[in-house]
Structure 1
Amino acid sequence: MMFPATMMSARARTTLYAVSLTLGCLIDGVTPARAQIMDRDIGSAPSLLVSRPLPRHVTHKSWVPPFSQPEAVAPNPVSKWLRHRGINFLVDNTNEFAGAITPPTRGGTPGFSNYKQGASNAGQYAMQLDIDWDKLAGWHGFATHMVTIGRYGTTANRMFGDWMNHASETYGGGGNVVVHFVYAYGEETLFGGRLAIAAGRMAEISDFAASPLFCNFQNGSFCGRPKGITDTNFAAGYPASTWGFRIRGRPARSVYVQTGLYPIEDGIYQVFQHRTGFKFNAANIIGYAAPIETAWEPVFRRGTLPGHYKFGAQLFSTPQNDNYLDVAGAPYALTGRKQRRHGASWSTWVMFDQRLLHYHDKDSGLTALSGAIYNDPRTSLRKYLVYAALLNRGYFRTRPYDTMGFAITYTKIADGVTLAEQDMIDRGARSNLPNHATGVQRDTIVMEANYAIHVMPGVIFTPLFEYYIHPNAQSNLRNAALLGFKSHIQLM
């Protein structure tokens, strides 16, 4: 839903008043219940497993790692009865609102006339089903996992010309249908957690280059995963999935190594192939993605300061176009010839997070995140992305589950893309620029500051501020500031 500028002003005032009133009431006197934080929403389960070192006293017995059991709005005896028998069924809703408080760029250049100042709302309802077949049928170490979602709404960033980083991460990818199938796979855990083998319909980037901490934020440059890791449509990230196989070994308590093989399916983020996600015939497989990742996961100061230090890379076997050169080695934007094709491409990443301070509650403290993603500069749009963030949870003793967050991402566009777009503009072909651009793309920065309020069991409300520098990586677009909020409700 979109609103013109005049309506936005009134809405912004109303939103600010509501946020201020809510903050005042909540911080002053609501007693917090059990922990409910955005690290535990549906979809974070795979990355939670990756981020969980082996227990101190582990045996070689096959066992199923514990499922995510977040608090819910109301106690549910049926859920408790099912979990006791190995069935974990979760339902939640995440809603994200963002409204621009700055006017967009206007002018006679093609594309600018459609820009407007306004607001948008996007959201997702999700269902997760985990089954511990050890408890249910005596199949030691075996579990299955399935997630379906529905998404609605739109995102505000396109109103001011940005197509790279959504202001509301839950927009897109889910098909805008009542039910979108995300993933369903089985996993066998052997030797006391030292070896885990999984296969089925899987979201590769839920296991690789993943962290449950990313979605403490709303903007799409950071939430879900730093956007550079899915620079192409060949890396399947939530809510997209492909057939896949993954194996993870833990040679030491705080070290893991994992790899896998994921068929690349053409159009996994587009409605013509995967609107509902239930297309399983594999007729559109065009190659394979092969990721590998290792990490050190230390826990300092008697278990109060966990950290994760990840290094990874992936290879794509599918041919991709060169972003600058044609088949003869000249700039394609000047010659008009077909772009050169490369038989394979790659991506690499390093990702760190470390809790620096510990406060009162078990999950409280100050955590720092940083990382970098570097893609094949010949074929990528985003040559590299670097990010940094701080999460400060439980700073106020009376609010142990509230979280203050700040995140910043910097994206550098590949040199070939920049040069090709400049060539097109020089020869008067501005209307044919790729990536919905209305000018030359070079770099962009997205920042977010927020405060997540633990309202009651199962409910989180997060007022936030987003700021875009060079939207769509274009210096000819005016910077944009947005106010909004993110809410999460765990129903069961």
Structure 2
Amino acid sequence: MTSQFPGRGTRPRPCAAFAAVAARRALYNFAWLLFAVSILLWQKTPAHAQVMDRDIGSAPSILVSTPLPANASTKTTVPPFSHPEAIVSNPLSKWLRDRGINFLLDNTNEFAGAITPPTRGATPGFINYRQGASNAGQYAMQLDIDWEKLAGLPGFATHMITVGRYGTTANRMFGDWLNHASEDYGGGGNVVVHLVYLYGEETLYGGRLAIAAGRMSEISDFAASPLFCNFQSGSFCGRPKGITDTNFAAGYPASTWGFRVRGRPIRKVYIQTGVYPIENGIYQVYQHRTGFKLNGANIIGYTAPIETGWEPSFNNGTLPGHYKIGGQVFSTPQNDNFFDLYGAPYAVTRRAPKTHSASWSTWAMFDQRLTHYREKDSGLTALWGIIYNDPHTSLREYVAYGALLNRGFFSSRPYDTMGFSFTYTKIANGVTMTDEYLLDKRRALPNHATGVQHNTIVMEANYAIHVMPGVIFTPLFEYYIHPNGQYNLRDAALLGFKSHIQIM
């Protein structure tokens, strides 16, 4: 906090300075504690694999990422359900699963605290910035039903997920509104039970055709990968943030009514498309607080994604890869980010922005395992890709990303994973120029900005420790360059951890 009395400047008050030092020391002590925990666990070899690729919510992207087996039959059947290891050995769960009912329960918790002070200033936008820490998380329940086993309906299954979310995220404390330091923040409605999705799926011809409809999260199937959530940063986990730039593409934990069809013309190639109504305010509490608002009264348009992918596997199947490209069109009118109705800067004329009748988004996403170690799913994997949005209507014109995941490098820790990721976000030129005009005229800027937005980089390094069956603990470090895309904001460094407990 800074002094707001005339003539007293902006020097931090002693109590605030003391609190900042105490917080910094606490974070350093916490970092050493994480290091000590890592050393203590180093020699303990787990009995089974449990990785963040298999948490609740990852099942749709896992199905997209799974090519047909060699010599696959054409028999209509339900694909196997997700079955992660859990801390509770539950005979009831096994009994239910054998009869077609798969019930999962987990908790993911994410902590992040800044070890660098925020930008200081006397303007209203800077006064509230502070150095601090935050915690966010969710508990989730997943229910899959195989109606072929339960009622004799060949190939038909239903899928349902509900979550409860809690806490807040640290990035806003230092002025960033583009990338959450904790991905589990937001979207859950601040309620005990929030419906994420509920849909039915028919799988035909041995997995060569899959048709789904119901309340669906579009970005769980399209532009998706189960590998993304080996990280905590919201710039990467769930999906690279640029793909939901418009708020019209439904990403977990939001959903809309939807229809999707996926075909596999050959074993290692798929193509999928669908139609999803655009519901105004799907990420807002006033419309979708619980997720159970199902009447569609707020539908304002439609989005139609299409995606195709090649899924090769080299070196006798030990080096899988996934190469996908896709795009989508939004039928809903959106405002131009620079021009008014007559082709002049609306920041200058103060007239209404120009309206575009439609907009679009495209993506190219790739991952490839480069080396293989001893265990089945071990090795060094590289991820890279780009999302490019309509530059006339978007905030993020494009997002480029890259990451490395190194699993099982140490023979004594076959299921531990080292990870490094970065995302580069380029703000659309129209947004940048609008900021410059508004700032010159001393008017408020959009997107919570306190300076001109240009570009930003977010990096994360982590080490996921397989503590015991069903428990993963991940110390991590995040670094923000030009938070919120602003050059006038100081870079920010954070320490934290992500924990995942699969209860059943």
- Which of the five TM-score ranges fits, normalised by the shorter chain? over 0.9
Aligned runs of 1:56-455 on 2, under 5 Å?
A: 56-429=70-443, 432-455=444-467
Tell me what 2:486 maps to: 474
Q: Structure 2: how far apart are the matches of 1:443 and 1:63?
A: 48
Deviation at 1:428, TM superposition (A): 1.6
SS at match of 1:8: helix
Q: Is the 8 A contact 1:152 1:176 kept in 2?
A: yes
Q: Structure 2: how far apart are the matches of 1:5 and 1:315?
A: 47
Letter in 1 for 2:207: G
Tell me what 1:11 maps to: 26
Q: Is the 8 A contact 2:462 2:477 kept in 1?
A: yes
Q: Structure 2: how far apart are the matches of 1:64 and 1:437?
A: 48
Tell me what 2:7 maps to: none
Deviation at 1:11, TM superposition (A): 2.4
Q: Is the 8 A contact 2:117 2:131 kept in 1?
A: yes
Q: Is the 8 A contact 1:413 1:442 kept in 2?
A: yes
Q: Is the 8 A contact 1:334 1:423 kept in 2?
A: yes
**Please, which moves more after superposition, 105-114 or 83-92?**
105-114
Instruction: Give yes or no for the alignment of 1:37 onto 2:54.
Output: no
Tell me what 1:484 maps to: 496
Q: Structure 2: how far apart are the matches of 1:358 and 1:488?
A: 25
Q: Structure 2: how far apart are the matches of 1:348 and 1:153?
A: 32
SS at match of 1:262: strand
Q: Is the 8 A contact 1:4 1:118 kept in 2?
A: no
Q: Is the 8 A contact 1:51 1:211 kept in 2?
A: yes
Letter in 2 for 1:183: Y
SS at match of 2:493: strand
Q: Is the 8 A contact 2:336 2:393 kept in 1?
A: yes
Instruction: Give yes or no for the alignment of 1:24 onto 2:36.
Output: no
SS at match of 1:111: helix
Letter in 2 for 1:243: W
* 1:279-317 deviation per Cα after TM superposition (whole angstroms, max 9, x unaligned): 001000000000000000001111100000000000000
Deviation at 1:110, TM superposition (A): 2.5
Deviation at 1:157, TM superposition (A): 0.2
Q: Structure 2: how far apart are the matches of 1:5 and 1:45?
A: 42
How many pairs were matched up? Answer: 487
Letter in 2 for 1:322: D
Q: Structure 2: how far apart are the matches of 1:460 and 1:223?
A: 16
Q: Structure 1: how far apart are the matches of 2:247 and 2:294?
A: 18
TM-score, normalised on structure 1? 0.98
* 1:211-244 deviation per Cα after TM superposition (whole angstroms, max 9, x unaligned): 0000000000000000000001100000000000
* 1:3-26 deviation per Cα after TM superposition (whole angstroms, max 9, x unaligned): 952442242133113201111111
SS at match of 1:89: strand
TM-score, normalised on structure 2? 0.96
Alignment RMSD (CA, Å): 0.9
Note the residue ranges of structure 1 that are not aligned, 5 or more in a row. Answer: none
Letter in 2 for 1:9: R
SS at match of 2:127: helix
Q: Structure 1: how far apart are the matches of 2:32 and 2:24?
A: 12
SS at match of 1:372: strand
Q: Structure 1: how far apart are the matches of 2:457 and 2:164?
A: 30
* 1:196-219 deviation per Cα after TM superposition (whole angstroms, max 9, x unaligned): 000000000000000000000000
SS at match of 2:61: helix
